[in-house]
Amino acid sequence: MASFTPTPVDSIASTVTRLDAAFGTLKSHPLSFRLEQLGRLYWGLRDNEQALYDALAADIGKPVFETFMTEFAWPLSDIVNVMENLKTWAADEPITDVPWTTKLVNRPVMRKDPMGTILIIGASNFPVQLTISPLVGAIAGGNAAVVKPSELTPRSSALIAKIVEDVLDSEFYAVVNGGVDVTTKLLELKFDKIVYTGSTYVGKIVATAAAKHLTPCILELGGLNPVFVTKSADVKTAAKRIAWGKVHNAGQICLGPDYVLIHPSLEREFVESFKNALKIYLPNGAQASPDYGKIVNDRNFNRIKKLLDNSSGTVLCGGSVDESTRFIEPTLVKVTNSSDSLLSEEIFGPVIPMMVVGKVDEMVLLAKRLGDTPLAMYIFSADKLEQEKILKSVRSGGVSINDVILHASNSYIPFGGVGESGHGKYRGRDTFDSFVHRRPILSQPLWVEGQLSIRYPPYTPKKLAAYKRFVAHPAVKFGRDGKHLPQSLWLWAFLLGSSNKKGGVFRYLLVVLAGVLWARKFLPGAKA
């Protein structure tokens, strides 16, 4: 197993300078270089599959199945998808929604240019996926990249460093390992984009540091993710799927279900179904199960335990903890007060509070009060009107209906937050688009110089009149009150159903042309 070696802080600036210089050579621009690096990364992961299982088991007790699903198969799928589509995504796109004169004369296109050197700061809950997937985007975009894995998962971070150093071009890609001092030093330096996945608190620190250099960021943060279980929901299925969301990765998922708002008529059946689901998932109990992980470190263990200890709610199932192994049992708690400790912050663990709420409107108001821009929102309802009401009323980064984590479980679909849960997206095509600068390019032919003379000083009334004719505004279809002006029936008929005079003239010409063609074909002597 690779050993974790912190990077000397005084070497970081020279590493970034080296990558910046390499990017300036333009060597990373050709698609052939990018595809080669992506292919090498693919095989670097494939060749270290067992090492991934071992590292993640040692770091956070992650089961092999979960590691394969989220940390191995996922980034491999990302790489293959990007490689298959890169030529199409990277091609210049004609800009078509412009006047026909601009399209004909200036031939506008949108080019996708590499941005420069990217900083990727990974997370501890999915140490490989949330580090490698942004790296895939950085490579696909033709950039250089510095990767900073989480220090909370040292064996996984060491393995990432080994893979990157073994298979990728060291001129363009480097891994920097270490703690807060290393991250602090990195954030002092100028990058062309920063990707950070983690807490909202640290996200604000990253954004503040980036602002000093006007560096754009992708921030994948968190928040209190609500679960709505309305009166029309299939309560057994809802309980089964919500329980899985708390067992998976021991609840350490930034978009995991954080609290349940449930209709009173479903409470009893939900609780029983939740308990039954846990018995099926963990038949010998969570602590003895090889399919259940542990909390990543002592600090997070103590934070979750404190939230549970300070709650005034009633524990309906679970509740046991073991500090020596950082074990917290999947726990369902009924709370009656929105100020309960379990509703004060993102839990990021296997504890979920449940609150009984009678009306959808009350659920919405409560969810907005607890946090109006969560990373995820989950709606269990069979009523389309209920679904739509909640969707319109509560903002979130993404939504799954009648499931949890679904919208973020597909590597082809963009994923990101809104407001305090972050901004920017990657995955799917956004894995490429988020790591390039879309640069519009227009070409002005020399032969139009005569027509351009009106833009040059000295400005005269004649030039102004000519320019006004050139940019004449089309007739509008709304009044000064902003409301639509209905077209009179006789004008509509006179213009052959067109909404303007130009369209009417064009339609008359088509009618005349059709008449001539008909006459030439069917009337005797018309061809003469």
Per residue in 249-295, pLDDT (tens digit) is 999 999 999 999 999 999 999 999 999 999 999 999 999 999 999 99
- Kindly list the catalytic residues: 220, 254
CB burial readout 83-119, b (16+ within 10 A) else e: beebeebbeeeebeeeeeeeeebbebeeebebbbbbb
Neighbours of 195 (CB within 10 A): 29
Residue 528: predicted pLDDT = 46
Q: Could you check whether 14-221+429-440 and 226-403 share the same CATH topology?
A: no
* Lookup: tokens for 441: 């390019």
> Which amino acid makes up residue 493?
A
3-state SS class at 457: coil
How many CA atoms, within 13 angstroms, populate the side-chain half-sphere of residue 120? 30
User: Residues 340, 312: contact at Cβ < 8 Å?
Assistant: yes
Angle at the Cα of 258 from the Cα atoms of 200 and 230, rounded to 5 degrees: 135
Host H or E run for residue 377: strand 376-380
Angle at the Cα of 330 from the Cα atoms of 322 and 355, rounded to 5 degrees: 125
DSSP code at position 9? G
Question: CA–CA separation, 322 vs 301, rounded Å?
Answer: 9
Residue 511: predicted pLDDT = 83
Question: CA–CA separation, 257 vs 124, rounded Å?
Answer: 18
Could you tell me which of 286, 296, 300, 301 has the C-alpha nearest to residue 247? Answer: 286
Q: Residue holding tokens 């059709």? A: 514
Question: CA–CA separation, 130 vs 190, rounded Å?
Answer: 22
Delimit the domains of the chain by residue range. Answer: 14-221+429-440, 226-403, 487-522
> Which amino acid makes up residue 214?
L
Q: Which CATH class is domain 226-403?
A: alpha beta
pTM of the model: 0.89
For the chain, residues with pLDDT lower than 70 are 1, 487, 490-492, 499, 524-528
Residue 246: predicted pLDDT = 95
Neighbours of 238 (CB within 10 A): 28
CA torsion angle 27 32 34 38 (round to 10): -140
**What is the distance of C-alpha 432 from the center of its chain?**
12
Give me the CATH code for the 14-221+429-440 domain, please.
Answer: 3.40.605.10
Question: CA–CA separation, 370 vs 359, rounded Å?
Answer: 17
CA torsion angle 348 349 350 356 (round to 10): -40
